[in-house]
Amino acid sequence: MGTAVITGAGRGLGRATAIRLAADGHRIVAVDLDGEAAERTAAAVGGEARRCDVADWASVDALAASLESCDVLVNNAGIWHFHSLLETTPESVAAVLGVNVVGVLLCSRALAPKMIAAGGGSIVNLASAAAWTNSPGTGIYPATKAAVISLTKQMAIEWGEHGIRANAVGPGLIVTEGTADRHSGDRSRERSRNIPLRRVGEPRDIADVVSFLASDAARYVTGQTIFVDGGITAGRAAL
Ligand SMILES: NC(=O)c1ccc[n+]([C@@H]2O[C@H](COP(=O)([O-])OP(=O)(O)OC[C@H]3O[C@@H](n4cnc5c(N)ncnc54)[C@H](O)[C@@H]3O)[C@@H](O)[C@H]2O)c1
């Protein structure tokens, strides 16, 4: 097992993924805009921490320069500003595109050369069920996650000859620090009724599938998106 670099690893799905990939035997580099949160995750898994803004070219270049190798990259850092399209502001568009789309590109193009030098690697990008099932008031967020799915395919076709696999995971409704305010008791129960598996997700539901895609068990899988959403993208469970 080699080095796994996970962005947005300070909490939520990124932290759960760091814990899972560490259990798989990877050496973890926990990356986050919140340096203290990254330190906490690194301490929990015996790994290293880096403070980095994935949307900033110089910050990502400094991250890459600080790493000897990268065998697995999980582009997990993501943000959302929920409002209607009519309420969209230039600042909001720049911020959400910057982290969710440009950030995925920056980290991948900065770290892919290390994978190429080592003969290959695995990139796992966090998309979203929202790329497939839009909801009112989610602004540009679903479009950024659709872009992640397209970027994932682009990486797969451009870097496959170097042994790099690129795949995406599309979470459904997962309770994390970032989404907790939308999962209060009654709302969560109401939402669960519409999910085929009748429950919202837990971070480990996502981390287990990231682990699979990062592993040799997925050695012939590239350019794919696996929706880990309890069936949300299959349709509504109730009328
Ligand atoms: N939780 C869900 O229900 C859900 C559903 C679909 C997709 N996702 C995606 O999964 C990913 C993780 O979601 P989460 O719920 O764990 O989020 P979260 O808000 O709980 O955690 C996100 C982490 O990313 C870090 N981060 C934010 N901007 C950053 C930047 N510019 N550079 C580096 N780090 C940055 C934050 O500091 C935070 O630690 C995101 O890409 C999100 O869009 C989540």
* Three state DSSP letters for 133-193: CCCCCCCCHHHHHHHHHHHHHHHHHHHHHHCEEEEEEEECCECCCCCHHHCCHHHHHHHHH
Task: Note the pLDDT tens digit of each residue in 27-65.
Answer: 999 999 999 999 999 999 999 999 999 999 999 999 999
Cross-sheet strand order for the sheet of 27-32: 48-51, 27-32, 3-7, 72-75, 121-126, 164-171, 225-228
CB of 210 within 6 A of ligand 1: the answer is no
- What stretches of 92-144 adopt beta strand conformation (E)? 121-126
- The amino acid at residue 148 is V
Mean pLDDT (the chain, rounded): 96
Domains, the chain, ordered by start: 3-234 (3.40.50.720)
Whether the predicted pLDDT of 119 surpasses 90: yes
CB of 37 within 6 A of ligand 1: the answer is yes
Residue 14: what pLDDT? 98
Residue 191: what pLDDT? 84
Ligand 1 centroid to Cα of residue 15, in Å, is: 10
What is d(CA 170, CA 75) in angstroms, rounded to the nearest whole number?
Answer: 12
In terms of pTM, does the model score above 0.85?
yes
Task: Note the pLDDT tens digit of each residue in 151-194.
Answer: 999 999 999 999 999 999 999 999 999 999 888 777 778 889 99
Mean pLDDT of 185-212: 92
CB of 50 within 6 A of ligand 1: the answer is no
**Which residues are designated catalytic?**
141
